[in-house]
Amino acid sequence: MNRARHIEGSGTAPASWERWLRRNVACRPLDAWVAADARLVVVAPHPDDEVLGCGGLLAMHCERGGEALVVGATDGEASHGATENPHRLAATRARERRTGLRALSYIGPVIRFGLPDGGVRGVEATLARRLEALLHPGDVVACTWRLDGHPDHEAVGQCVRRACRERALRCLEAPVWMWHWASPPAPASSAEDAPWAHLAGLELDERARARKARALAAHRSQLTARSTSSGAVLGPEIRARAAWSCEYFFSDEA
């Protein structure tokens, strides 16, 4: 595993991960992740992370009538740097998120914390305070992995994991960018590299996979080139990973 966690270039080929995952990581049914009567709380660092990390999980839980809540840590206003007005981009991304969530059968509210895009690490106390007011006993909370490589993803993962441990809630940490900068571990890989023993998958049914694809397609601002000299935020590799038949989570209960 690349300890530097740099997100650059085309990254590790999705097919390499798929081969390793099929051989080494078990996929489990929906009930093994979240009970039908539990509330699933999804904490996304940016709009689209709820789709990339756990769009299938959210779709399958909502389709069976399960209760869910989506929380947006930031509005994703900095994804295009200086090439786009941040207020206008935040509004665009909010519309894309609503469209994407409808594709996932989620019709509930989105709780927007409005934390600075790219600066969540500096306001973790605020994030923790806001989460404390939202989490209920029995919740299952999904977030990005605490070592995912993007500073906002890591800050959200660390904060959510702490909050879940304090309240004895189940926390599901979804790798999003890890698949890009990391490589499949060798058979003798040390557990210090990543908690591979705590990684397991959710097998997505065909409806969930189709809904996830439609949800991701709604995020057009992230799928089109940002400028003549800069490509899309979500390149072909991450789109290929989003089409996998399983979603994967690190969890203490995996």
pLDDT in tens, 115-131: 999 999 999 999 999 99
Nearest to 158 by CA among 176, 169, 171, 168: 171
Work out how many domains the chain is built from and give that number: 1
pLDDT value for 228: 59
pLDDT value for 186: 65
101 three-class SS: helix
Mean pLDDT of 145-164: 97
d(CA 73, CA 53): 14
Mean pLDDT of 106-117: 97
Beta-sheet pairing, 140-144 with 68-74: unpaired
Q: Is 79 within the bounds of a domain?
A: yes
Q: Is 224 within the bounds of a domain?
A: yes
Q: Is 140 within the bounds of a domain?
A: yes
Task: Find the Cα–Cα–Cα–Cα dihedral 155, 95, 93, 105, rounded to 10°.
Answer: 50
Tokens of 143: 């977030």
Tokens of 33: 């992740």
Q: Is 90 within the bounds of a domain?
A: yes
Q: Which domain holds residue 142?
A: 35-185+192-250
pLDDT value for 187: 57
pLDDT value for 10: 86
- Tell whether pTM > 0.85: yes
Look at residue 189 and tell me whether its pLDDT is greater than 50.
no
pLDDT value for 82: 77
pLDDT value for 229: 63
CB atoms within 10 A of CB 100: 24
pLDDT value for 188: 46
Farthest-apart Cα atoms in the chain, separation: 49
Side chain identity, residue 191: A
Instruction: Determine contact, residues 194/185, Cβ cutoff 8 Å.
Output: yes
pLDDT value for 190: 44
Q: Is 178 within the bounds of a domain?
A: yes
Q: Which residue has the tokens 């995020």?
A: 219
CA distances from 69 to 84, 218, 222 (A): 29, 19, 23
What's the mean pLDDT when you consider all of the chain? Answer: 93
d(CA 40, CA 104): 14
Number of residues assigned to the chain? 254
Q: Is 129 within the bounds of a domain?
A: yes
Side chain identity, residue 208: A
Q: Is 24 within the bounds of a domain?
A: no
Look at residue 101 and tell me whether its pLDDT is greater than 90.
yes
Q: Is 106 within the bounds of a domain?
A: yes
Look at residue 242 and tell me whether its pLDDT is greater than 70.
yes
pLDDT value for 253: 79
Taking the alpha carbons at both ends of the chain, their separation in whole angstroms is 21
pLDDT in tens, 4-58: 687 888 899 999 999 999 999 999 999 999 999 999 999 999 999 999 999 999 9
Name which of 99-108, 141-150, 180-189, 226-235 the model is least confident about. Answer: 180-189
Mean pLDDT of 63-79: 97
Q: Which residue has the tokens 């991304």?
A: 93
Mean pLDDT of 228-248: 91
Give the CATH number of the domain where residue 105 resides: 3.40.50.10320
User: How are strands ordered across the β-sheet holding 140-144?
Assistant: 27-28, 199-203, 246-250, 170-174, 140-144, 40-44, 68-74, 110-115
Tokens of 51: 């789709």
